[in-house]
Amino acid sequence: MKLKQTYAVFGLGRYGKAVAKELVKSGAEVLAVDRNELVVNAAAAELPYCKCADVTDPEVIRQLGIASIDVVIISMASNLEACVLVTMLCKEIGVKTVIAKCSSEMNCKILSKVGADRVVFPERDSGVRLAKNLLSSGFVDMIELSKDISMVEMEVKPEWEGKTLIELNLRKKYSVNVVAVIRGSEINTLIDPEKPLSKDETLIVIGNISKLSQLG
């Protein structure tokens, strides 16, 4: 198992570049690709692995070594046909996680149908937030409440199963607070700290970003 996931970002418009820059800033290995040479040249100073290529070409996908990439983010929402084709190509060669940016709710549905593991709609999801979610291993979602404080949604870790919040003492150990427990469609904010946690539950936790990262 890899210690760190590898990423590829296809399309270096405002959204794609924001994702790539945030991933690189956090120390991730990122291959950034765009078919416009001027765009690539402008981004090269901030993105160490930046290539000019047409990723709708199966041979280009092979030459770039995309089959060995863990997560591919497709940020070419203005061209649905290209997004569909690249999504299918990536899944065909075995990319585990393909995330596609879409320009409408309908396009999101189409990209999900052709194999995208996750779709993002820029009106709802910022590129920086997507990058932070990807980097926060173990978190289902992350929302920044301020510069230093975030709220995360995370699954119950295997080592926490069967233990109570009193036993785990997360507030003392990590300076974070569990504010809700989700089970199915039920969100419970009146938490019983003496009730053992189960693996099918999800926790909503608030705390300092540096402390939350220790939970991932």
> How is domain 6-135 classified at the architecture level of CATH?
3-Layer(aba) Sandwich (3.40)
Cα 52 to Cα 40: distance, rounded to the nearest angstrom: 6
Q: What pLDDT, on a 0 to 100 scale, did the predictor assign at position 150?
A: 77
Question: What is the per-residue pLDDT across 163-196, written as a single tens digit (0 to 9) for each?
Answer: 999 999 998 888 888 988 988 878 888 889 999 9
To the nearest 10 degrees (0 to 180), the angle between helices 80-92 and 105-113 is 30
SS3 per-residue string spanning the chain:
CCCCCEEEEECCCHHHHHHHHHHHHCCCEEEEEECCHHHHHHHCCCCCEEEECCCCCHHHHHHCCHHHCCEEEECCCCCHHHHHHHHHHHHHCCCCEEEEECCCHHHHHHHHHCCCCEEECCCCCCHHHHHHHHHCCCEEEEEECCCCEEEEEEECCHHHCCCCHHHHCHHHHHCEEEEEEEECCEEECCCCCCCCCCCCEEEEEEEEHHHHCCCC
Choose between 190 and 43: higher pLDDT.
Answer: 43
* Edge-to-edge strands, sheet with 49-52: 49-52, 29-34, 6-10, 71-74, 97-101, 118-120
* Alpha-carbon gap, residue 47 to 43, rounded angstroms: 6
Segment 51-102, tens digit of pLDDT: 999 999 999 999 999 999 999 999 998 889 999 999 999 999 999 999 999 8
User: Residue 212 and residue 50: Cα distance in Å, rounded?
Assistant: 31
> Mean pLDDT, the chain, as a whole number?
86
Split at pLDDT 50, 70, 90, the class of 121 is confident
Strand 6-10 versus strand 71-74 pairing type = parallel
pLDDT reported for residue 139: 56
CATH superfamily of 139-212: Regulator of K+ conductance, C-terminal domain (3.30.70.1450)
Give the pLDDT mean for 28-55: 95
Tell me the average pLDDT across 128-136: 63
Q: What is the mean pLDDT of residues 111-134?
A: 74
pTM: 0.63
Helix axes 14-25, 127-135, angle to 10 degrees: 30
Quick one: pLDDT band at residue 1, thresholds 50, 70, 90?
very low
Tell me what pLDDT residue 210 has: 76
Q: For residue 90, what are the contacts with CB-CB under 8 A and spacing of at least 6?
A: 61, 66, 72, 74, 98, 115
Domain boundaries, the chain: 6-135, 139-212
33-37, 119-123, 177-181 — which one is most confidently predicted on average? 33-37
Whether 207 has a pLDDT exceeding 70, the answer reads yes
Pairing of strands 6-10, 176-183: unpaired
